Structure 1
Amino acid sequence: MSLQSIKYSRGSLDILDQLLLPVQSKYVAVRGVEDGWKVINKMQVRGAPAIAIVGCLSLAVEIYPEEFENKKRLRQEVEGKLNYLVSARPTAVNMKIAADELLALANDLTKDETIDVAAMKDRFLNATEAMLEKDIADNRAIGAHGAKAILKRVAETAGAPTGTTGPVRVLTHCNTGSLATAGYGTALGVVRQLAELGKLEHVYCTETRPYNQGARLTAYELVHEKFPATLVLDSMVAALLRAKNVAGVVVGADRVAANGDTANKIGTYQIAVVAKHHGVPFYVAAPLTSIDLAIPGGDHIIIEERPDREMTHVGEHRIAAPGINCWNPAFDVTPASLITGIITERGVFKPEELKEAITKLLES
């Protein structure tokens, strides 16, 4: 059974505090939007899909017990709180897209004269709660499409019929599993699907410095699932790809631009460069909510910068020389030219096909 990072029932929300993992498993109550903003900003919850879900559910928890004098007042409350939540971690586009969709719903309900304020609030709560179930379903679809793409590529390279190749080795970066989503995972969902098919020989995960999401979180999930897995340092990836016959790299995404350029956890870009050099396919696994067609390319993606302390300290222990300057971007942008395919819940697309394909899907 996969880990549960989000526990929700109407009026109640608790999140697994990922700052304490893997040493301690403790849930933190989120009583409203202010709590939601803090757990996202402090990275007690992280991963683009989970950020959006927790942000929106924190609003649902806040408005659930409230009574609003009219629909206009409810709409104003929704708009202000959603805009605030988007500011918690701006690189992850999922929260912004979810906020835009919920605000559009609030606007439509406000104009609908057949619906009173109580019904409007109930419809809004239903919409936020539906995100949990949809995310899990989308992740399972991503896992299925991704596993199929990796196995097909291996079969084509070997000149063998699809489905006849043996188990494969894959590499992943950062954390993209149940801890980063509502459940199952995106890139780690692909790994999970390979395992379910009996096609996972081994999965390698990077430590993902400086916040160590790979060493703390992905490794925690892999051990929990009893997958054959090995942790490697970020600086070992080139040596790993040269020595271990890795069939593919699969990572997540915080935002994908219209041309396929992808912002993901810092270190992703260099893995893509090394994968290209070694002829290893490099896949990005992301739901449609991570694709931002309004941004033409990666140069337009806002990159969050984190505090120096994440680099200079491990816990309370300083590991860097006092007085040294630090540059700590949380993400980097992998150019589309280095990406083999972008795995979504609706299929796998080449970066150059992405904009046209997604536009058609959204219109259908």
Structure 2
Amino acid sequence: MADQYARPSDAAALSAVSPLRWEEPPEGPVIVLLDQRRLPAEEVELVCTDVPALVDAIQTLAVRGAPLLGVAGAYGVALAAVRGFDVEEAAEMLARARPTAVNLAYGVARVRDAHRAAVRKGGGDGRAAAAAALAEARAVHREDAEASARMAEHGVALLEELLPGGGYRILTHCNTGALVSGGQGTAFAVAGALHGAGRLRRLWVDETRPLLQGARLTAYEAARAGMAYTVLTDSAAGSLFAAGEVDAVLVGADRIAADGSVANKVGSYPLAVLARYHHIPFVVVAPSTTVDLGSEGGADIEVEQRPGHEVTEIPVPPQAAGAGTGAGVPVAPLGAQAYNPAFDITPPELMTAIVTENGVVSPVTKAGLAELCDRSRSGNGMMSI
């Protein structure tokens, strides 16, 4: 069993949500995660001392969200380097942990490449290479926080252009706040900036079946921020549109193909269809690291298939089930098969805009997205693994 253990979180440290950090206790460096499986009932930290523990945390969604997975992957490679484990093997394990989230492979590749370069330059000096890996991981973390702030600025400016007047009623899906980012998030960061300016009238929060990331996590962050918010079942979104209660839809992304097709939490595509029919802006907010120019279109994006029990059972949180990740209460007949894709693909023609830290693409086109990515590559570059 990988070395991973939970501990109660420090309430003071969580005055601002901190989903991931690097620590160096006397017994050796660790990656500390806020265990998102236990939210909102408990704020418990998960301590990972090796890469298999981190991979397990990623696959079981203790840590999740495309930008934060990039940060987690970066620190995971650094952890292997600093603790003297096989860095190449660690990079491979981490990059495979969740195939759709391109940020994970991006963060892994950046730190792996920094480690390789330092090994070559230092003639095999392991300490210097480990230090270079950790420095690069910290850079990935810092850059993600900076990108979050810029996305919020661009997103607010876009909404003010599209919908002058303020008092916005925003519908969002899944969780896109500080729990998925080194900063304040992606789509949720835009809503947060509107709230801070007194211009958010209501945040509509899709519950996001089957794992309820909206009801559990977005509502948790909205409550902490003092937002006016309402949770709804995913299937109720259509009635909100029909009643004229939605001004814009803001979602994140796990991977954006070269043509602008977006893979995001399953349920995003139906919202885009509804938004188009009701003439409501549908806006994707994601850092440029989420863009994968190696994927030509949506058909090239591998969509992760999750276990069927997530659909056929109502999840019971770990704190209610005792040790482990929690049991489930069956809601379907024993042996029922379930279709459970983690993501769906929204084509570019259904989007109003894609907002990144480098600006806004609207309308969403292959040429526009490529131009935006050129600006990113002039900075820290885009890598593949």
For 2:75, the equivalent position in structure 1 comes to 57
Structure 1 position 129 matched with structure 2 position 138: yes
The yes-or-no answer on 1:341 pairing with 2:331 is: no
Query: Is the 1:2–1:184 contact (alpha carbons within 8 Å) kept by the matching residues of 2?
Result: no
Name which of 51, 63, 77 aligns with 1:33: 51
- 1:106-146 per-residue CA deviation (whole Å, 9 max, x = no partner) reads 33223325884322221111111222222111111111111
Q: How many residue pairs align between the two structures? A: 346
Matches within 5 A, 1:1-364: 2-10=16-24, 11-66=29-84, 77-112=86-121, 116-155=125-164, 165-314=165-314, 315=316, 316-350=328-362, 351-352=364-365, 353-363=368-378
C-alpha deviation, 1:79, in angstroms: 2.0
User: What per-residue deviation string (whole Å, max 9, x for no partner) do you get for residues 257-302 of structure 1?
Assistant: 0100000000000000000000000011100110001111010000
Mean Cα deviation higher: 92-101 or 331-340: 92-101
- Is 298-307 or 123-132 further displaced after alignment? 123-132
Whether the aligned pair in 2 keeps the contact of 1:2 and 1:225 (CA below 8 Å) is: no
Q: 1:361 to 1:40 in 2, by over 3 A?
A: closer
TM-score, with length taken from structure 2: 0.86
Query: What is the root-mean-square deviation of aligned Cα atoms in Å?
Result: 1.7
Q: For 1:179, what is the secondary structure of its paired residue?
A: helix
Q: Quick one: structure 1 residues 100 and 60, their matched pair in 2 at CA, closer, same or farther if it must change by over 3 Å?
A: closer
Percent identity (aligned): 35
Q: Point out the more displaced range, 180-189 or 53-62.
A: 53-62
CA-to-partner distance for each residue in 1:70-120, whole Å, 9 max, x for gaps?
xxxx8xx32221111011111100011122222332332233258843222
Does the 8 Å CA contact 1:31/1:62 hold for their aligned counterparts? no
Q: Give the stretch that moved more between structures: 261-270 or 9-18.
A: 9-18
Contact 1:273/1:338 (CA < 8 Å) preserved in 2? yes
* Deviating 4+ runs (over 6 angstroms): none
Q: Any conservation in 1 of the 2:288–2:376 contact (CA below 8 Å)?
A: no
Matched to 1:166, the amino acid is G
Equivalence for 1:71: none
| Distance across 2 between alignment mates of 1:85 and 1:128 | 14
3-state SS in 1 of match to 2:218: helix
Secondary structure of 1:269's match?
A: helix
How has the CA–CA distance of structure 1 residues 243 and 64 changed in structure 2, closer, same or farther, with 3 Å as cutoff? same
Look up the SS of the partner of 1:169 in the other structure: strand
Distance, in Å, in 2 between the alignment partners of 1:295 and 1:184 is 28
Stretches of structure 2 that go unaligned for 5 or more consecutive residues are 1-14, 317-327, 380-385
User: 1-side partners of 2:140 and 2:196: how far apart?
Assistant: 25
Q: Which has the larger displacement, 272-281 or 182-191?
A: 182-191
Counterparts of 1:36 and 1:210, CA distance in 2: 23
- Does structure 2 conserve the Cα–Cα contact (< 8 Å) formed by 1:3 and 1:183? no
Q: Gaps (5+ residues) in structure 1?
A: 67-73, 156-164
Q: Is the 8 A contact 1:33 1:55 kept in 2?
A: no
Alignment partner, residue 160 of structure 1: none
In the alignment, which residue of structure 1 is the partner of 2:7? none
- How many Å separate the matches in 2 of 1:36 and 1:184? 22
Q: Residue 224 of structure 2: SS of its match in structure 1?
A: helix
Counterpart residue identity of residue 26, structure 1: V
Task: State the SS of the aligned residue for 2:180.
Answer: coil
- Kept after mapping to 2: 8 A contact 1:21/1:216: yes
Question: Residue 107 of structure 2 contacts residue 140 of structure 2 at CA under 8 Å; is this kept in 1?
Answer: no
